[in-house]
Structure 1
Amino acid sequence: MSDRPADVVSPTTDQVLATKVSLADARAAGRVGYDKPTPQNSVMLLVDHQIGLMVGVRDFPSLATYKANVVALAQMAKALEIPVLISSSNAQWQNGDTMPELKDIFSDQPIYRRTGIINCYEDPTFRSAFDDLLGSTGRTHVIIAGVTIGTCCALPTLSMRNDGYQVFPVVDACGAWDDYEAQAAIARMSWAGAEPVTVFALGCELQADWKLPSGNDMLPPFTSQLPEYGWVVQNFWNNANQHAVPDPFGTVK
């Protein structure tokens, strides 16, 4: 006979709680404040994920892992209906075209093809599209990833921080020529007030509650592009009838 007290299971009707203190009051008290990205306040910029550039990425042990991160990030934006802007740089030359997977996922989106300006935020055509998107949606948080992290991601991040945007560089959906570039870029963006994030942690932050309707569409990026987690899920369902903890959702039969 166990002496453990009964478990306390939260009701499946529970919803996400807001912080007790408002962002403005937290900042007034001298704290940084938690101004988190959500599917409702964010846009996503995917900058220069081009096949000619990606082949030069050297800060990942495997380009397969890097590619999976980029694809997962794109799939999450699609699942959560986050508006996306895609840009390429000198695609007509050595940098090559945008990843085919991104073109497939966002087949209804144009690619803003810059013809020389390195910082996408400094490109008049891209800036116009960016301003139009944020103006029409009222969104203020920018999720960004690009190749390489030191230029395609860091430079627009610094520019957008200068102009007052909350920016979240997704560092493992970027790539670098070497570790020095990645470390310097992350340090520089952090110093400017951006908040570096990783793909799957960001996915959890955006989803916030697996009970939300987007949960079904958000699961595939986790299971297909993060195989370690996918195998955990598959193993669970293979043995679901032998669970030790009752399922409050009633999905395990």
Structure 2
Amino acid sequence: MMNTGGITNAVRRLSSSTSVGKLKPENTVFLLCDIQDRFRPLTWRGETIINTAKYMTSVAKELDIPIVITQQYTKVFGETVKDTFADQEHFASCKIFEKKRFSMCTDEVKSHMQTLNRDSVVIFGIEAHVCVQQTCLDLLEDGKEVHIIADSVSSQQPYDRELALNRMSQAGAFLTTAQSAAFMLMQSAEHANFKAVSKLTVEHMKLPNEFNGDA
């Protein structure tokens, strides 16, 4: 039997006003994928991933964007790295989902996402070629518009990361950077939170970015 639901979602995505990848706070959710203590020393460019995740979660707080967090088999891989949030009270208020499936799109997460009713999904975390990629593909298949924060996505091996970014882009995801996403969400210097986000950006730019100079 033909999957008419999948076709309808694909057509809706192509015909929607956001099909070119514009982001609006009221229609966006951030997904923080498995940035856990055990992975921290193993991830290529790991400290940049964490620093950029902290920038993204801070932007989310300023723009009132919900954050969904997953942890892969917490008993083995540990808790989400606390340094991914500048504000630990904000961290504590976010929904965290335990999983063993690689994709973030577990039944619990999908149910929660339905309550949020957001069509644009911004993903950052690890590992690019496993959990991030499978999440991205599941969301695209479900008709969501997916944005990958390239400077906050990595794997243990750079080659895996590179191919995963290419794979996700070919599948229809938008590759972007943290700053690009943040300023697209505001759209104008007249935005009420422009000064706050600009201050976050200045502070973030003072930190080492290990992706600078990479091909």
Q: TM-score, normalised by structure 2?
A: 0.81
For 1:64 and 1:81, the matched residues in 2 are separated by 25
Deviation at 1:70, TM superposition (A): 1.1
The counterpart of 1:68, out of the listed 48, 51, 67, is 51
- Offset of 1:148 from its aligned partner? 0.7
1:125 is matched with 108
CA distance in 2, matches of 1:46, 1:125: 15
The answer for the alignment partner of 1:181 in structure 2 is: 160
In the alignment, does 2:96 pair up with 1:111?
yes
Q: How does 1:198-217 map to 2 (within 5 A)?
A: 198-217=177-196
Normalised to the residue count of structure 1, the TM-score between the two structures is 0.70
Tell whether 2:142 aligns with 1:163: yes
Contact 1:169/1:195 (8 A) holds in 2: yes
| Structure 2 unmatched runs, 5+ | 1-10, 208-215
Q: CA RMSD in A?
A: 2.2
CA distance in 1 between counterparts of 2:35 and 2:19 reads 32
SS at the partner of 2:184? Answer: helix
Contact 2:48 2:152 in 1 (8 A): no
| Contact residue 55 and residue 204 of structure 2 kept, 8 A | yes
Consecutive unaligned residues in structure 1, runs of 5 or more = 1-23, 229-253
Contact kept? 1:86, 1:111, Cα under 8 Å: yes
Larger Rg: 1
Q: How far, CA to CA, are the matches of 1:90 and 1:220 in structure 2? A: 36
Q: Which residue of 1 aligns with 2:68?
A: 85
Could you say which structure has the higher strand fraction? 2
From the superposition, tell whether residues 210 and 145 of structure 1 become closer, same or farther in structure 2 (CA, over 3 Å): same
Counterpart contact for 2:125–2:153, Cα < 8 Å: yes
Deviation at 1:33, TM superposition (A): 5.5
CA shift, 1:210, in A, is 1.9
Greater relative CO, 1 or 2 (CA 8 Å, sep 6+):
2
Query: What is the CA-CA distance between 1:195 and the residue it aligns to?
Result: 0.4
Quickly say closer, same or farther: Cα 1:185–1:210, change in 2 above 3 A.
Answer: same
Identity rate, percent: 22
For residue 111 of structure 1, report the CA deviation from its aligned partner. Answer: 1.1
